[in-house]
Structure 1
Amino acid sequence: MLSSEAFSQAVLNWFDEHGRHDLPWQTNKSPYYTWVSEIMLQQTQVSTVIPYFLRFTDTFPDVHALAKAPLDQVLHLWTGLGYYARARNLHKTAQILSQERDGVFPSTLDEMEALPGIGRSTAGAILSISMGVRAPILDGNVKRVLARFYAIDEWPGTPNVQAALWKYADHNTPEHRVGDYTQAMMDLGATLCRRSKPACLLCPIQSHCQAYALGRTHELPKARPKKHKPLKTTIMLIHMNEPGEVWLEQRPAKGIWGGLWSLPESEELPNTLLKCLPVIKHSFSHYDLEITPALVKTPECFRVEEAKGLWYNLDQPQQSLGLAAPVKKLLASLR
């Protein structure tokens, strides 16, 4: 078995020649840039994140600017990235750092993990990349590399496998160049040790990879046990006024699309129905959702002050509202 020193050195040598060195957040390896990028990259590909990261950091160049911004503006810039709790936690953490720590990020794992939305792996990435602190990471890419290298024959999501992978991650993390090693492991998983069709012949640790030796790279890591996703349905009511504006309401802070602006929802079609528009299908990690948009007659007694909402101008959309992706798409189709 490859020693930890040989493992990390092989990965670093590969990174120096083939790793990614020109990503937007690598031009400024500050804790702020690293933190924002790591949160955005959770369950999201690099190619998708890049334009969001550039817009976000251009609007909020530092933690103080983010802390002072209204949540609506933060959610607006997040629209389309999904998993909106990430954006809400970014905003909460920015306020904590700005108000309680004068914008200075913690330098220990325990303190970093205590902040909203920052787990063990994300904390390790921020500390190692931006501060050079030796801290292992275990994001999806690194899990895949280690599960194959050690031929772990169970789904990595189980507690016992998670614990084993953390031990391997810690064992192989070097004392030097920890930031480069962290980035190298993420790059290795993203560009070579891919889910399908891994480029094993180009991998710097292929000669000691147990999955490769056993001819099992195509089946490891084990997939999550299949679970039938339930189907949920909802009716979104489209109230329009004469200027061509649509009534929107802000969703509760907690729950799906928390804090975003959306159309009012109903379980049944109202008797003021004018017509139904084509069904919109949207998939979440735990269930599928079918949305029936219903254009309804807006009664004369419909008053803005009766609910927390606003009239959304379809021709001149408000630029600071966070909208759920299917709602944004639906509103665009109404123009």
Structure 2
Amino acid sequence: MFDRSEYGSLKSRPVFDRHLNPSPHKEWVSQEFTKWSKGFADHNQWLDDLSVLSACYMFTGCKQKDRILAATMFISHAFYLDHAMENARKQRSATLMVDLFEKLLLAVLTGRTDNDFCIGRRLLDTLAATDAFLTRDQMTFTRNKLNAWLETIRDIHCNYWLQNRFIPYDQYYDQRSNESGWYIYTLFSEICSEYTAPESLLKCVPSFDTLRTTGIQLALALDDYLMTMVKLATNDITNGVLSYASAAKCSVQTALDVQLVLIKGLESECRSLYDTMVDRLGPGVESQELKAYFDTFMDSMYGFHTAFAVLYAYEEKDGLVWSPKWEALSRQLMDDTKEMQLNFLN
């Protein structure tokens, strides 16, 4: 059994030693993005600031500011979509959630939506801004993954969140890799480094797709590790750490420790895959281009970690991480008289 008393005793450790600075284009991106975002009735300045913060750390090395702007728009879609889902969550309504996502999927399919459907118009604008940097194959990939993203958010909400059920750990990666949006976020590593993998890396073993997939596993593992405290505080058990604890019948602390080992292993695996590909390409322009891509790819993970640390005002002491915002959430949970228990044995 898990009860809220474990929340205050959980120990989180620093994940990466590498901390990045935000993009030098941050001010320009913020101005342009906010100007665009204010054109919608659902404008929320806090969500805008969060979007700019995330993109400008994740893609800090990108030299072309219009590409960071497109990344900011895509990242903002996740935040604004989460905001748009709030009414359905409050009413615990599967019907409202399904209706929302049917309208979004129709917008992607037709390229049109109602003028008062702000989240749909935001998405279509974002696709148009991103398409300018994509090959035809990348456009197809983006729309396929976008559809999978929207469908899986809907399904996880209805099948797990609404029913307060854990995502089975053996199904977790397949479902959450789509629902998290990381397939699309990692595509921006290609966009921001202006990289297209040569045919030799697409057909070899291990292939470029193997590197991308391993990177998405790393991003998702990192995402879940960082979000565990927040998920617990909001009674949201759609999290890999919690799914592992349920499957392994262990404490959340043990699951957190296992997750950190997983992250370190995936980080090493990404670097090993990269080294193998460089050896295959040999010295020359293709290896230099791959390095620029790989640096951008890994920096998106380090940048995400840094942005999270900035957002939550991380404090590091004695090899542990704590956030004063977690402390506030802990007090809020302890003051609430409603008992909350999550049964990890089911």
Q: TM-score, normalised by structure 2?
A: 0.23
Q: Which has the higher strand share?
A: 1
Instruction: Give 1 or 2: higher helix fraction.
Output: 2
Structure showing greater relative contact order (alpha-carbon pairs closer than 8 Å, 6 or more residues apart): 2
Scaled by the length of structure 1, the TM-score of the pair is: 0.23
